[in-house]
Amino acid sequence: MTSPDRNKHPFRQPHLWLIRVIGVIVPRRLRADWRQEWNAELTNRELLLADWDKLNSRSKRDLVRRSLGAFWDALLLQPQRLEDEMFQDLRYGVRMLRRHPGFTLIAVLTLALGVGANTAIFSVVNALILRPLPYPDSDRLVWVEETSKTSAGSPAFGGHFLDWQEQSQTLEAIAQFDGGARTLSGVGEPERVDVGTISASLLPMLGVQPLAIGRNFSAAEDKPGAERVAILSDSLWRQRYNGDGDIVGKTITLNDAIYTVVGVLPESFRFSSHFDVFLPLALDPQQELAGQSRSFQSTVARLKPGLTLEEASMELDSLLQRYEMTRPNANWRLLDSRTRLVTLHEHLLGDTRRPLLVLLGAVGLILLIACANVANLFLARAVNRQKELAIRAALGATRLRLARQMLTECLMLSIAGGGAGLLLAFWLTSLLSSLTSTSTIGELARVAAITIDLRVLGFTLLISLLTGLLFGLVPSLQLSRPDLNVSLKEGGHGSGFHGRGLRSVLMVSEVALAIVLLVGAGLLIRSFVKLLDVDPGYRAENILTARLQLPPRYNEKSRRVQFYEQTLQRLAALPGVAAAGATSHLPLTSYNLGGALRVEGRLPKEGEKETTAPIGSVNPDYFRAMSIGLRAGRLFTDGDAQDAPSVAVLSETLARELFQDDDPIGKRLFVAGSGAELTTVIGVVGDIRHQGLDRQIDSAVYLSYRQTPRPGVALVLRTTGDPLSLATSLRRAVHEVDPALPVYQVMTMDERLSNSVAARRFNLLLLGGFAVLALVLAGVGVYGVISYVVTARTHEVGIRMALGAQRVDVLRLFIKQGMVRVLIGVGLGLFGAFALTRVMTSMLFGVSANDPTTFAVVASLLCLIAVMACYFPARRAARVDPLVALRHE
């Protein structure tokens, strides 16, 4: 055996040459070792086989094949190279971040605010918009309404429902339900409970099968005259019946009628309306189909798989038409009625989608501002790192390597910020879910739970990483291109640093984004202020309200009158009560469609719309208690009693609608539901906004409670002091008259008014909070940039001052430099806001989406903050001693 020549020509020893070449891609740390191992093996094999020249071609091929296998070996070692460098980057990054704790803290906090706000709002969007309703195959559940020329959408008639249930080929199931409060008595205190009357098909259709205990209603029980049965909600069962496992078969008493409990709903059951007890709807097919009575209820249906809303809607329409055409003995036919189907999700979401998406957009802007801020911080810190980067570049680090190092630091920051943001989001989400109620986001609040689930976590991770890339990428690329000569010479403070332009761009965009957010919030604030300025027609302060519902034992009118008289007498006598009123029709409570009105001696013209108005039954003191002013005629007196002529008081708008400019006093009307042939108008009172401040004025007819006593009534106490202090006395007064009568919804009128604007306040609070955050971030951003500029130009300031510049000149120099950029940002922001705020139109009240006042105020506010943010660093520059400044590098 002879030793092989180590310097053989590659063509003579291709295998060893291959190892040299392939070795280039092996991670440097492993390279020498790797080459030696392969060399040794191949050489050894060659020795075994004697000299290359003497090898047969098969053995030669074998050696070359083996050395080619080394390529695989080298390739599979590649991840280690990345790993090595990544760990290096990470270690280095941690060191850098720890060396500048202030920078790290501010950056992480800024990002945490951005990510936290985004995660929280996204968790709401996720719960309400993205996540399906908590029913099996919930995408097939639809909400059915009927529309006509006069109504944009009303519950469907029972007759239609029964017909659809029987005939429809497109629906798998259809159900109706209705709600109302009843008095639950028997064991313990009597209380008002919300009762849902549901068709037997509802629960199986929603997939609530089997029940927690017992069973659903049978078809036979869902008929009039069937045995009275009830299903309890989980919460009522637990609270009132202590979770009695043997509840099935026991009886409960509702409005003095006895029902047998057949089941209890599972705890997980969610429904858009809050019901404590469920009873069968028990529509009377004879009556409904014959058209003698018209009942209407909310309607939910389940489409057959694969069918669209349009197909089902078309079928229900044609069934409805046929039904109305062929129905015998119809009192009136609803020939212009059409059905309208929307998904149940869409129906429950209602008006909530738009504000939510606006909020999501707003937090998106916050995140962008946060990114710009952190990018700015990063650039600012990089000024001090110019020298370090230049040295690394001089030592052979490639640009990619430097950029990757910095990007790694950015990603570390963004992950830390994301983690902190997630903690913040957990807190914010629980806050938000406690703020969301039916008054803020509608009925969907009952169905959807706002939680942080996997999708939200994924979203957080995604935006954290995106944020890191966003604020890291551009600075990293910029900084990894250091001008070695300048950086090394100037010690990193020179004007050779090219991040300045980028910083200005970032500052301008921050200001612009903040303007957009501020304008949005400003518009909401203006809307809210305008809304609170609206005169509801009554004075809400110092009013205590409570509701009562008289049970069937008060069916006789005289008993009701007697009860009201006694109760009101006691209430009026309470110390601290200025007036004790009662009404069947309290503002801001559910809206009664009201009855038809016809003026005596005036025949309705063909095609003329009938005048209808809600009809309230009130006591004489009601107007005084609510501070609703008398405009003409007189108010009720105690004399307007059962046996006296029927009298009515009209609201101003209604009086004008019915009698135009004629004097309404003394005119006579037919008022549906008053029980009287004709009713004389005795007075006109001021208008009120029954449905809420942002709604139009509602006309109203008031009747005397002595003439038309209603079973449901709201007590209205005008108090001289704190209304709530009278709550106990109010209950006591009622119970002195009837101890078994529940008093519910005891709250001040102010509270009711405040609840009615809760949705707007919710949006305002959130968007306002975000806008303040944006303002702070933008202010900090401007401050940061100007501080940096001041530091970078200290030397120049020294020269200027040495040449005779005054402090005020220096101050002006820097403020001007900052404000030019701020003004560019403000301009761009106003332009953006002009384009973007129109999506908010539906959320505004009394303000246009391009309200010039808001735009002007917001722009000035931001400029003011910006001037302050420029002033402080500028003052620092102006105070500098020229000698010190000149020495400053």
Partner 1 sequence: MSPKAYLSYSAAVILQALGNGYQYGFDIMDITGLPSGTVYPALRRLENTGLIDSKWEKAGIAQREQRPPRKYYELTPDGEDALTEAVKRYRLLERHMPHPSKVTPTRERG
Query: In angstroms, what is the minimal distance from the CB of 86 to partner 1?
Result: 16
Euclidean distance between CA atoms 536 and 588, whole angstroms: 10
Residue with the two structure tokens 């401040």: 693
43 Cβ contact partners less than 8 Å away, ≥ 6 residues apart: 4, 16
CA dihedral of residues 404, 410, 415, 420 (deg, nearest 10): 170
- Give the contact letters, 76-105, x = binds to partner 1 (CB under 8 A), - = no: xx----------------------------
Q: Which is nearer to partner 1, 40 or 257 (CB)?
A: 40
Closest listed residue to residue 741, CA positions, set 558, 564, 605, 476: 564
790 Cβ contact partners less than 8 Å away, ≥ 6 residues apart: 797, 814, 873, 874, 876, 877
**Taking CB under 8 A as the rule, does residue 37 contact partner 1?**
yes
Q: What is the DSSP letter of 51?
A: -
Query: In angstroms, what is the minimal distance from the CB of 340 to partner 1?
Result: 60
Q: Which is nearer to partner 1, 59 or 287 (CB)?
A: 59
Closest listed residue to residue 733, CA positions, set 865, 591, 565, 616: 565
Helix (H) or strand (E) holding 746: strand 744-748
Q: Which is nearer to partner 1, 71 or 744 (CB)?
A: 71
Q: Which stretch binds partner 1 (CB under 8 A): 31-39, 305-313, 351-359, 795-803?
A: 31-39
Closest listed residue to residue 114, CA positions, set 441, 470, 391, 431: 470
Query: In angstroms, what is the minimal distance from the CB of 17 to partner 1?
Result: 16
Q: Which is nearer to partner 1, 44 or 696 (CB)?
A: 44
Query: In angstroms, what is the minimal distance from the CB of 408 to partner 1?
Result: 24
Q: Which is nearer to partner 1, 6 or 9 (CB)?
A: 6
Query: In angstroms, what is the minimal distance from the CB of 60 to partner 1?
Result: 10
Q: Which is nearer to partner 1, 63 or 366 (CB)?
A: 63
Structural contact between residues 450 and 356, judged by C-beta atoms closer than 8 angstroms: no
Q: Which is nearer to partner 1, 45 or 304 (CB)?
A: 45
Closest listed residue to residue 54, CA positions, set 1, 130, 120, 110: 1
Please give the C-alpha separations between residue 233 and each of 69, 207, 243, 268, in angstroms, as whole numbers: 72, 16, 11, 10
- Give the contact letters, 345-384, x = binds to partner 1 (CB under 8 A), - = no: ----------------------------------------
Query: In angstroms, what is the minimal distance from the CB of 505 to partner 1?
Result: 47
236 Cβ contact partners less than 8 Å away, ≥ 6 residues apart: 193, 276, 277
Chain positions 40 to 59 lying near partner 1, rule: CB under 8 A, are: 40-45, 47-50, 54-56, 58-59
Q: Please name the amino acid found at residue 439.
A: S
Q: Which stretch binds partner 1 (CB under 8 A): 37-45, 161-169, 358-366, 380-388?
A: 37-45
Do the bridges between strand 277-280 and strand 191-198 make them parallel or antiparallel, or are there none, so unpaired? Answer: parallel
Query: In angstroms, what is the minimal distance from the CB of 52 to partner 1?
Result: 11
- Give the contact letters, 59-78, x = binds to partner 1 (CB under 8 A), - = no: x--x--xxxxxxxxx--xx-
Query: In angstroms, what is the minimal distance from the CB of 83 to partner 1?
Result: 11
Query: In angstroms, what is the minimal distance from the CB of 143 to partner 1?
Result: 54
Q: Which is nearer to partner 1, 45 or 530 (CB)?
A: 45
Q: Which stretch binds partner 1 (CB under 8 A): 29-37, 194-202, 462-470, 662-670?
A: 29-37
Q: Which is nearer to partner 1, 78 or 485 (CB)?
A: 78
Closest listed residue to residue 314, CA positions, set 346, 340, 276, 280: 340
Paired tokens of 157: 């008639």
Q: Which stretch binds partner 1 (CB under 8 A): 32-40, 158-166, 423-431, 794-802?
A: 32-40
Query: In angstroms, what is the minimal distance from the CB of 9 to partner 1?
Result: 19
Q: Please name the amino acid found at residue 356.
A: L
Euclidean distance between CA atoms 275 and 655, whole angstroms: 39
Q: Which is nearer to partner 1, 34 or 770 (CB)?
A: 34
- How many residues bind partner 1, per CB under 8 A? 33
Chain positions 137 to 166 lying near partner 1, rule: CB under 8 A, are: none
Query: In angstroms, what is the minimal distance from the CB of 15 to partner 1?
Result: 11
Q: Which is nearer to partner 1, 33 or 139 (CB)?
A: 33
Query: In angstroms, what is the minimal distance from the CB of 34 to partner 1?
Result: 9
SS (H, E, C) 640-676: CCCCCCCEEEEEHHHHHHHHCCCCCCCCEEEECCCCC
Query: In angstroms, what is the minimal distance from the CB of 29 to partner 1?
Result: 13
Chain positions 657 to 716 lying near partner 1, rule: CB under 8 A, are: none
Euclidean distance between CA atoms 792 and 773, whole angstroms: 28
Euclidean distance between CA atoms 10 and 491, whole angstroms: 49
3-state secondary structure of 455: helix
Q: Which is nearer to partner 1, 68 or 740 (CB)?
A: 68
Euclidean distance between CA atoms 215 and 212, whole angstroms: 8
Chain positions 807 to 836 lying near partner 1, rule: CB under 8 A, are: none
Query: In angstroms, what is the minimal distance from the CB of 85 to partner 1?
Result: 18
- Give the contact letters, 425-444, x = binds to partner 1 (CB under 8 A), - = no: --------------------
Query: In angstroms, what is the minimal distance from the CB of 39 to partner 1?
Result: 6
Q: Which is nearer to partner 1, 73 or 336 (CB)?
A: 73
Paired tokens of 656: 């004008």
Q: Which is nearer to partner 1, 47 or 884 (CB)?
A: 47
Closest listed residue to residue 655, CA positions, set 643, 644, 666, 663: 663
Q: Which is nearer to partner 1, 3 or 590 (CB)?
A: 3
Euclidean distance between CA atoms 256 and 700, whole angstroms: 33
| CA contacts within 13 A on the Cβ side of 648 | 30
Bridge partners, 254 (sequence order): 184, 257
Q: Which residues bind partner 1 (CB under 8 A)?
A: 1, 3, 33, 36-37, 39-45, 47-50, 54-56, 58-59, 62, 65-73, 76-77
